[in-house]
Amino acid sequence: MVYALDIGPDNFTPAKFTTIATLVNLILPLLSLGGAVIFLIMALYGAFTWISSGGSRENLAKAQKIFTSSIIGLIIVVFSFVLVKLIGYILKIQILPQ
């Protein structure tokens, strides 16, 4: 008895993206989620650095730089999401689901 699945062109159709919008619909939410997770990790790391600085000016400056970088990264992620929505509105295509 064989439990392997024979994959071929008859029983397996590859994913087909008919338009760029369908590809963006798949990729952009994943990238946005990844950016949000990275922001959360960086913010927690900055908070930990701030708390454990012990009053050291170098560590406080490092924590502030981490926070600033994470906020800038989050702004870039949100701006890119809005930019894609704007491009979809201008071109009159539904890039992201409502």
pLDDT, tens digit, for every residue of 21-30? 777 778 888 8
Q: b/e for 7-45, b at 16 or more Cβ within 10 A?
A: eeeeeeeeeeeeeebeebeeebeeebeebeeebeebbee
pLDDT digit string (tens) for 1-47?
666 666 666 666 666 667 777 777 788 888 889 999 999 999 999 99
Q: What is the span of the domain harbouring residue 35? A: 21-91
Please state, as a whole number, how many other Cβ atoms lie within 10 Å of the Cβ of residue 5: 8
Q: Is 9 contained in some domain?
A: no
Q: Is 82 contained in some domain?
A: yes
Q: Is 40 contained in some domain?
A: yes
Q: Is 50 contained in some domain?
A: yes
Number of domains forming the structure of the chain:
1
Q: Is 83 contained in some domain?
A: yes
Q: Which two tokens stand for residue 12?
A: 């397996």
Q: Is 79 contained in some domain?
A: yes
Q: Is 7 contained in some domain?
A: no
Q: Is 1 contained in some domain?
A: no
